[in-house]
Amino acid sequence: MIDVEDLIALVRNYNPRCNADLIRRAYAYGLKMHEGQFRKSGEPYFTHPVAVAAILTEQRLDDATIVTALLHDTIEDTRSTYADLAAQFGEEVAELVDGVTKLTNLQLSSTESQQAENFRKLFMAMSRDLRVILVKLADRLHNMRTIKSMSPEKQAQKARETMEIFAPLAGRMGMQWMREELEDLSFKVLNPEARNSIMRRFLTLQRETGDVVHQISGDIRHELEKARIEADVFGRAKKPYSIWRKMQEKDLAFSRLSDIYGFRVICSSVADCYRILGVIHQRWRAVPGRFKDYISQPKNNGYRSIHTTVSGRDGKRVEVQIRTREMHEVAEAGVAAHWSYREGVRAVNPFAVDPAKWIAALTERLDEGDTDEFLEHVKLEMYSDQVFCFTPKGDVIQLPRGATPLDFAYAIHTRIGNSCVSAKIDGIRVPLWTRLKNGQSVEIITAEGQRPQASWIDIVTTGRAKAAIRRSLREEDRGRFVKLGQELARAAFDHVGKKATDKALRTAAKMLGLADENDLLARVGSAELPARRVVETLYPELAQAVAEEVDSGRPVAGLTADQAFRRANCCQPVPGERIVGITYRGQGVVVHAIDCPALEEFEDQTSRWVDLHWHSGRHKPVFTVSLDMTISNDAGVLGRICTLIGEQKANISDLRFTDRKPDFYRLIVDVDLRDVEHLHMVMTALEAETDVAQISRHRDLTRRP
């Protein structure tokens, strides 16, 4: 374990004016609080907080962060309290320790909905003070370095959590070195065979080709000396996980992989960066499509550098990064560069990003929408690489890799996205699903009256665009549900001889604790609230009388005692719909819906018409209705459709396919229902299913009596 004076010496290397007394007191307090506690490895527990503090000194962080690292487990694991820490080390340290404790208690690898809410809490903690996350990342890095002492199950769980959450978060914060180490440590746990295989191939490659890194570094230095440019050159082989991921993404064997070596050239000025780029491109051939200028277009975590890939010795591709020393500090420390010290004072680095602005950019619009949208947006933001495109006026729009013109439109303004009908890239009209590339100029074409389509959800990649599209679709659905709710409410009120006036609906909404009559109608139309319950709320006595079960043998009123009846096959009327009867000699009365096209042939035979209506009350689910559906041709879709119908308390009495295509099926489903309200509930549930492309009531005029 590093002793306190050694730790202070590490801090003094970059901050000679550090508060050594504060660090000593925190060290002694932590040692006392954790006395008698041991890690799984058998070491004293306090070795862990000290190691976390040492990791943070590598990032030249301030005294408060170092002290927080020493005390970060005291509230959770010892008898220490927030008040104790505030009294002895000040409110700033107590707040930071409390923030780390709350993060530790979040179960980030829990179920999807819990994970979404926990991510929200994590980002709230970040927005208050980003140093909380810096301590947490260092804590996770040390735990991963010493993970061997845990059980295999715990190792796998921690490694997955690190790979999915902490490594991308470190990368998004600009701490690429930490991201790579966290990924590689997780890779070692989750897929040791693959990692060992890559390590063995590396050793074989080195035996065959010699020290490539040393050779190419020497070549670059030689060219810079000829051009009289002062710069430092560093080279390294890429991490095993980085190589394995590239093999998976590109489906390549190790022997076919290029650019497995990376080089950095660090100079003193921006002008030298571009001079060095010219020298390298003159000496080696540049690989097309592998040039990125993050100096003129920085990433939003402050990262600046020029990236280029060239064909080096023996045709081997190598990636070269060119940056100034100040840019390199930000590239190494990321957002943490904001707190870095140099020679006793806070380093003023012009390229260090303001953490408040960074977190605001990352969490922009995340408070809109539900927790699932939040989680989706956060993961997209954390894993994204960037592309930079231009508006026709020359403004730069920054988007994640894989973004489309629709993402571009929503990045400008939600109104532009919602009304987008097409796009031009570099003056050429392209489909909306086209993937954007760096440096392209994008023009969005809009049209009044255009509304977002449900298919757009699968086209866009940014959380902002997805949230805006879903919000617009919900509003559109709401309007449709309000109209449907009006019809259902009218029918339910007619049953008890009342009118569904605005005042009656407002009163019912108030009694049911809803915002207004439109909210009530939307819920009725979406089957969240039965229309019958609205009636019962206002007229409990009338509703109770009506609610008696109707005899399924005689559900229709208006027939004589000896008249037989049956429902018409062509229109299949159900209780709640207006009906009329047509008499047939020897067949009794056939009941049609009032809007059935088959009635046209009886317009001149008024003597055969019988005025009918459904008995009021609760009908049994015995009225068969045929539904015409088009569904995706995918595994499990038909099963989900049947389950959805069953969940609405409806029974499938028959099912037949009418068309089969490679991508869709068309089928007729016969469903036994109670009434028109039950029919709307079933159809609404099916319409909401993403794999149902189309649904309508099937009316077959060939099946007349």
Choose among 594, 614, 593, 612: nearest CA to 495.
614
Instruction: State the average pLDDT over residues 473-493.
Output: 83
CB 476 within 8 Å of CB 456 = no
Specify whether the CB–CB gap between 614 and 591 falls below 8 A.
no
| pLDDT value, residue 274 | 94
Annotated catalytic residues are: 76-77
Helical segments of 496-589, H only: 502-511, 517-525, 531-538, 540-546
Burial label, 660 (beta-carbon count in 10 A; 0-12, 13-18, 19+): exposed
Asked if the 623-697 domain carries CATH number 3.30.70.260, the reply is: yes
Q: What is the mean pLDDT of residues 326-339?
A: 75
Distances (CA, A) of 263 to 212, 237, 245, 308, 675: 11, 9, 20, 10, 73
32-55 average pLDDT score: 91
Poorest-pLDDT segment among 64-73, 113-122, 597-606: 113-122
Token couple for 287: 């690989």
pLDDT score recorded for residue 591: 93
Confidence at residue 122, expressed as pLDDT on a 0 to 100 scale: 61
Using CB atoms within 10 Å of the CB of residue 629, give its burial: 0 to 12 exposed, 13 to 18 middle, 19+ buried. Answer: buried
Per the CB < 8 A criterion, the answer to whether 302 and 336 are in contact is no
| Nearest partner of 455 among 691, 249, 296, 665, judged by Cα | 691
Task: Please tell me the predicted confidence (pLDDT) of residue 365.
Answer: 47
Task: With beta carbons less than 8 A apart as the criterion, state whether 236 and 253 touch.
Answer: no
Q: In terms of pLDDT, which residue wins out, 573 or 466?
A: 573
- For residues 434-451, average pLDDT: 87
Q: What is the mean pLDDT of residues 180-203?
A: 86
The pLDDT, as a whole number, for residue 52 is 94
Q: Categorize the per-residue pLDDT at 275 as very low, low, confident or very high, splitting at 50, 70 and 90.
A: very high
- With 50 as the cut, is the pLDDT of residue 5 above it? yes
Here the tokens at position 165 are 């959450």
Selected from 2.20.25.90, 2.60.40.10, 1.10.3210.10, 2.40.110.10, the CATH number assigned to the domain covering 4-190 reads 1.10.3210.10
Determine which of 195-209, 370-384, 600-614 has the lowest per-residue pLDDT on average: 370-384
Q: Could you give the percent of the chain with pLDDT greater than 70? A: 84
Provide mean pLDDT across the span 34-43. Answer: 88
**Residue type (1 letter), 171:** G
pLDDT of residue 301: 66
Burial of 663 (0-12, 13-18, 19+ CB in 10 A): exposed
Beta bridge partners of 265: 233, 322
For the segment 631-649, the average pLDDT, to the nearest whole number, is: 86
**Residue 3 contacts by C-beta under 8 Å, 6 or more apart in sequence?**
none
User: What confidence score (pLDDT) does residue 249 get?
Assistant: 62
Q: What is the pLDDT of residue 261?
A: 78
Above 50 in pLDDT, residue 317? yes
Q: What is the tens place of the pLDDT at every residue in 570-615?
A: 899 999 888 999 998 777 899 999 888 888 888 888 888 888 888 8
Interval 269-297 mean pLDDT: 89
What is the model's pLDDT at position 462? 83
Instruction: For residues 533-544, give the mean pLDDT.
Output: 74
Instruction: Check residues 524 and 335 and name the one with the higher pLDDT.
Output: 524
In angstroms, rounded to a whole number, what is the distance separating the alpha carbons of residues 11 and 9?
5
- Asked if residue 52 lies in contact with residue 69, where contact means CB atoms within 8 angstroms, the answer is yes
| Fold agreement (4-190, 194-346) | no
Bridge partners, residue 263, by sequence: 235, 320
Decide the pairing of beta strands 317-324 and 341-342. unpaired
Higher-confidence position of 349 and 205: 205
Rounded Cα–Cα distance for residues 12 and 73 (Å): 24
Residues 6+ apart with CB under 8 A from 244: 187, 191, 194, 195, 198
Domain boundaries, the chain: 4-190, 194-346, 471-546, 556-614, 623-697
The per-residue pLDDT for 285 is 87
Q: Is the pLDDT of residue 362 over 60?
A: no
- The pLDDT assigned to 503 comes to 86
Please give the structure tokens belonging to residue 202: 């590396």
Q: Hey, which of 159-173, 330-344, 560-574 has the most confident mean pLDDT?
A: 560-574
Report the mean per-residue pLDDT for the chain: 82
Q: How does residue 369 score in pLDDT terms, banded at 50, 70 and 90?
A: very low
**Whether residue 439 has pLDDT greater than 50:** yes
Report how far residue 294's alpha carbon sits from residue 74's, in angstroms, rounded to the nearest whole number: 42
Confidence of residue 361 (pLDDT cuts 50, 70, 90): low
In 510-561, DSSP assigns E strands to 556-557
Residues 6+ apart with CB under 8 A from 671: 624, 625, 626, 627, 645, 650, 651, 652, 653, 682
What is the architecture, at CATH level 2, of domain 194-346?
A: 2-Layer Sandwich (3.30)
Q: What is the pLDDT of residue 111?
A: 47
Q: Which pLDDT score is estimated for 383?
A: 47
Structure tokens given for 663: 């991508």
